[in-house]
Chain A
Amino acid sequence: MRFDSALGLEARRGPVAVALKVLLYSGMALIFTGPLVALLISAFNETLDPTAFTLWPDSFTFENFVQAGERKVYLYLFNSFVVVGFGLLLQVIVSVFAAYSLARKKFRGMSIVMLIMLTTMMLPEEIIAIPLSLVLADLPVLHLDLIGTYAGMILPVGAWGFSILVMTEFMKEVPVELEEAARIDGAGELRTFFTIILPLCRPALGVIGVFGFTMIWDQYLLPLIVAPESSMWTLPIALRSLRSDEEVGIGVVLAASLLALLPSIIAFLAFQRQFMRGLTSGAIKG
């Protein structure tokens, strides 16, 4: 007898057991994907009941997505992509740089820096939302007003403790000999970093990339604070006012919701392995 799992369900191959398993697993898949599938189908359906989803579409149409254009949904989508594009770029660069220091250098004050990283991870952004809005309206020393700008939505997500720590852990694994060899060959600090360390960290870049993407895409309070004008809204915060606007039909809300969901689902499906690795390292190692 094999023991691949705690319950040993896989070893049961009788007809009743198989039938029960099929029922169980399809039930599970249905519970967790059902609402998403319902959205997918309804968003392409022509006649819409505002109170219910359609699981059997009567006619396939793009009409909802056309109407969504009239309600500026694609502008919101564009804003979301601008924020996630530049935000992720900044976040990855910042994380990689910081991780290089933490993983490869020895210097006084390192433990304090680590403590700072952990503190920021324990500090939920919801809690600092109100003072953050004041800080963003008038940055200390620089005296810039970031309210109503892309920078206001991008800079606060630029540094993320989780990304930095995942990257640091990974960089510690890169053998020191490679770095020393490069240095002996006369490569400078930046050159060593870009040609030796960074290429070896590509798997970890996938991990922080996909996590960063979903994290920034899911931002809600930050754009809510930063973008008072609807022209700067990101798609997630636009959904709520689309729905409460009497003139906007349910079809537009469904189309917009689908557009808001798809990018992070696609990112997850494309980078599944990296996602799972980051998930377990993040939660179990802390």
Chain B
Amino acid sequence: MTPTLTRARPDTAVPHPRPRRARWRGPLIAWAFLTPALLLFLYFKFIPMFTGLTMSFQEIRYIDTRWVGLDNYRTILTDDAFASAIWHSLVLALGTTAGSLVLGLVFALLIEGPARYLWFVRTAAFLPVVTTMAAVAEVWRIMYHPGDTGMLNSILGWVALEPQPFLASEDSSLLSIMGMSIWRGTPYDMMIFLAGLVGVDRTLYEAAAVDGASTWRRLRHITLPALRPVFWILFTLAAIRGLRVFVEVYVLTNGGPNGSSEVLMTLIYKLGFQTGELGIASAGGIVLFAATLLLTVMVQLMRRRQTTS
């Protein structure tokens, strides 16, 4: 074959009016490649979601299932156990989010820079994020041991503080769970803030220095405004994660003592798998989903406003 022939081929091989079969082939192949993903999503996300939605309007018993309309939702919104679980979820979500964000930002600012040893500290500090929740919770349970031999109580002893009951007391169980969640959430926020800090325009820092601005003013007027979009994304992610928290509570206290750390998901789990109140449990799931959706939409709107302004 001569070189001229090979070069001529593309022009002749792709004529403008394509044959009918070729027009169908492209989309068909596209859908074929998508089929496994769509099938798995259908079976394990969408069918359960609609099953859950249907169940939330039903009273489910072994023998007969009754349509009860909004009764399950009414139960949830009037029930004391649900009210306190929702309250605990909100407190835990907001506390964890705020704690991780503030500490994450402070640590990110302290650790920013290209030096090699900083990279090492970053890697070490990031470890909690990748650890398995269930195992970490076991570790923290031991650290939180209420007696004065417990690890954290020993540390409190060095600085002459009274031993704390941590998970064992109704007053501090939720706070103790929050402490562990902040420990695990802070490095994540720190990393994302660090990525955001890289994008801050260095010439602005120089200009500020020329104008004689202090470090605090530089931070206040250049760095923090540049991080605002990152801040909002992290806020939503953390708040959603906080609302649906399950493993932490299930392993550390299972809602105790005396329901003082019961959150929405542990309550739903107990209702669904232990008491068999599947309808009410499903309605609880839907309420949680609605809250998650609301948060996501709110932040999407906020992001859109920020990009346009």
Contacts and interface: CB of A to CB of B under 8 A. Distances in A.
Chain B binding site: helix, strand, loop or mixed by DSSP?
Answer: helix
A205 interface: no
Nearest to B154: A52
A105 B111 CA distance: 43
A66 interface: no
Given A7-B112, A257-B138, A268 B289 contact: no
A9 interface: yes
Contacts of A237: 134
A102 B140 CA distance: 43
A50 B226 CA distance: 48
Contacts of B124: 28-29, 32-33
A156 interface: yes
B302 interface: no
Q: How large is the interface on B (under 10, 10 to 19, 20 to 34, 35 or more residues)?
A: 35 or more
Contacts of B288: 124, 126-127
B26 A32 contact: no
A126 B206 CA distance: 48
Nearest to B50: A131
A126 B246 contact: yes
A236 B131 contact: no
B156 interface: no
B47 A135 contact: yes
A221 B269 CA distance: 9
Contacts of A279: 188, 191-192, 195
B76 interface: no
Interface in B144-200: 145, 147, 149-151, 154, 183, 186-188, 191-192, 195-197, 200
A6 B200 contact: yes
A66 B294 CA distance: 50
A131 B55 contact: yes
Task: Give the most central of A51, A116, A127, A260: most B CB within 10 Å.
Answer: A127
Interface string A191-220: 000000000000000000000001001101
A129 B269 contact: yes
B233 to A, nearest CB: 6
A240 B251 contact: yes
A24 B125 CA distance: 12
B44 interface: yes
B292 A53 contact: no
B298 interface: no
B62 to A, nearest CB: 13
A60 interface: no
A107 B45 CA distance: 24
A138 to B, nearest CB: 11
A1 interface: yes
B30 A101 contact: yes
B122 to A, nearest CB: 9
B69 interface: no
A123 B289 contact: yes
Contacts of B138: 239-240, 243, 253, 257
Interface in A24-70: 24-25, 28-29, 31-33, 35-36, 38-39, 49, 51-53
A177 to B, nearest CB: 12
A1 B225 CA distance: 23
A35 B145 CA distance: 13
B113 A261 contact: no
B109 A7 contact: yes
Interface centre among B121, B244, B278 (most CB of A within 10 A): B121
B3 interface: no
Given A159-B37, A261-B136, A3 B233 contact: no
B20 interface: no
B134 A240 contact: yes
B223 A280 contact: no
A133 B285 CA distance: 14
Interface in B245-270: 246-247, 250-251, 265, 268-269
12 contacts: A4-B112, A6-B223, A7-B219, A9-B113, A25-B117, A32-B124, A94-B40, A107-B26, A129-B272, A135-B43, A155-B43, A239-B134
- Top 7 closest A-B pairs, CB basis? A159-B40, A236-B134, A131-B52, A105-B30, A3-B205, A107-B27, A5-B112
Given A3-B202, A120-B41, A220-B246, 12 more contacts: A5-B113, A28-B125, A31-B183, A32-B128, A35-B136, A51-B150, A52-B151, A127-B285, A131-B52, A135-B44, A220-B250, A272-B123
